[in-house]
Structures are given as structure tokens and as C-alpha cells.
Amino acid sequence: MPNDWLIPDWALDARVGALMTTRAGGISVAPWDSLNLGRSSGDDPAAVAANRARLALASGATHTYLSQVHGDRVIRLDAESAQGSHTADAAWTDRPGLACTVMVADCLPVLLAAPGARAVGAAHAGWRGLAGGVVERTVQAVCEGASCEPGELAAWLGPCIGPEAFEVGADVLQAFGVPPAPHSSERFRYQVRADGQPRWRADLAGLARDRLRTLGISRVSGGTWCTVTDPSRFFSFRRDGVTGRMAACVWIRP
């Protein structure tokens, strides 16, 4: 396993496996160098397939890659559904050996694990999905699958666009129920553009922590990396336009 991959620092049952890839450890060439896992990024499909095979070998799990649309749909992975194609932004499972996998290149990945490795889940949370409830729906699905309460879950937030880089307009504040006033709030720092246009810097990971806290989840770690400001380690669509995709995944070991 490449040393540069991120391993969640949660203290859980050893049967829970989880990781997030970085751009290191693959065979893709620039601008997708090197471990690009996204088929729709413009990269050579053979390179993407080889990169995905490396991830599968390292994790020892079967990965189901979703067709992500910034929505709130959550699917359950079992022996049958894990082989299919799904338009969704989150997945959960209670079956060993199946990895809930989401791809990102600025959006926030959220991994969840229930006690006793009874269920796990992963959500792709860009601002649209986060505002639309994808985290809440994934938490609900994992809790129902594991017969537990949200407060019993552990959550890990992966790298995403950071609060110094995520410039947004009034539409994003309105999506989170925040009046777009010309001043800063806890998760939105007011910063006018040079041309006088009002803009804010949004804290995507902080917004996710707020939602998890509201659900009663206190065991939340991660969320400290910025994809935009670390080009040597992370893919970033906002920074580069044409770029690769990283994967965050969680599974139950057999």
C-alpha cells in the first residue's frame, strides 16, 4: 500500500477497513498523474483500470464505483448490487468484502462506521449534496442497517477544498439557510472580489461537522487537508480543471 494514502485515525473494530487514496501510486500520465481512478476524467481507460486494480489489490475488497451526480441517493451494496452500475452519491453495506467507495477531487468524502463492524457507509458531499441531505440519509441508512443510534457511529472526513480556497456566491449560503449578508458567519467568511462582487469563503468540512453534530455524532475526525493548496498530493478540479479523481472507501473485512 503506498505510504502516501490516508488511513482514518479512528479507533474501531479491526474488521473495519478504510482508506483514502492520494494522487500517488498509479500509472496515469499528466495531467492525471498518477493514481487517477475516474473513468470520466479524460484519462486512458486502460490506465484507470490498472489503477483501480491496484486499489482493489491493496484493500482486498470489491469496489463499486458510483455515477455521482451531487444528489442524496444512497444505495445498499450486497452481492448482487455490488456488480451493477448505480447513479448515487453514497453507499452503505453490512456485507464483508464490499467497499463503499466515493470519488472526489475537491468535494468532501465522509466515511461512517457502526460499532462492532455491523455496517459501514461512504458519502460524496459536495456543497450541493451536503445541503441536500446526503450525509443525513447515509447516517440513517447505516444506522438502520446496524440497528444502532447515530451517536454510536464514528465518522471520518477526507481531504476537500479548504476554507481559504472555497470561494462561493450567495446561492451557496442560501442553500444552507444562511442569509447572504455582507459580513462573515461561522462557516462563511465574507470577502469581496477585486471587482466589488460579494463573495464568501466556505468551510465545507466545518459544515459537514455541524450536520454530524446535529445528528448526535461526536466521534468525528479528519477534514484537515485542502485539496486545492497541495497539488503534489491531491487532485483538484477547481485548481486544474482537467485532473484525476481520488477514492475514499470503507469496508468490513471478511
Residue 233's pLDDT is: 97
The cell for 48 is 484507470
214-251 pLDDT, tens digit each: 999 999 999 999 999 999 999 999 999 999 999 999 99
Q: Which amino acid is at 6?
A: L
What would the pLDDT profile of 54-111 be if each residue is shown by its tens digit?
A: 999 999 999 999 999 999 999 999 999 999 999 999 999 999 999 999 999 999 999 9
Secondary structure letter of residue 44 according to DSSP: -
Q: In whole angstroms, what is the distance from residue 73 CA to residue 87 CA?
A: 8
What's the count of helices (H) and strands (E) in the chain, helices before strands?
A: 6, 13
Comparing CA positions, the residue from 60, 64, 85, 90 lying closest to residue 75 is 90
SS3 112: strand
High-pLDDT (> 90) share of the chain, %? 96
Percentage of the chain lying above the pLDDT 70 cut: 99
Tell me what the mean pLDDT of segment 5-30 comes to: 95
**How many CB atoms are closer than 10 A to CB 224?**
10
What's the rounded Cα separation, in Å, for the pair 246 and 124? 11
Q: Locate 94 and state its grid cell.
A: 453490512
**Residue 11: which pLDDT band, with cuts at 50, 70 and 90?**
confident
When pLDDT is averaged across residues 165-175 and rounded to a whole number, the result is: 98
The pLDDT score that the predictor gives to residue 3 is: 65
CA distances from 164 to 157, 172, 191, 202 (A): 17, 16, 11, 8
* pTM (predicted TM-score): 0.97
User: Would you say residue 138 has pLDDT above 60?
Assistant: yes
Q: In the predicted model, what is the mean pLDDT of the chain?
A: 96
Hey, what's the cell of 11?
479507533
d(CA 156, CA 94): 18
Would you say residue 1 has pLDDT above 50?
no
Residue type, 247: A
How far is 74 from 137, CA to CA, in rounded Å?
Answer: 7
Banded pLDDT at 252 (limits 50, 70, 90):
very high
For the cut 70, the answer to whether the pLDDT of residue 115 exceeds it is yes
Mean pLDDT of 130-146: 98
SS3 155: strand
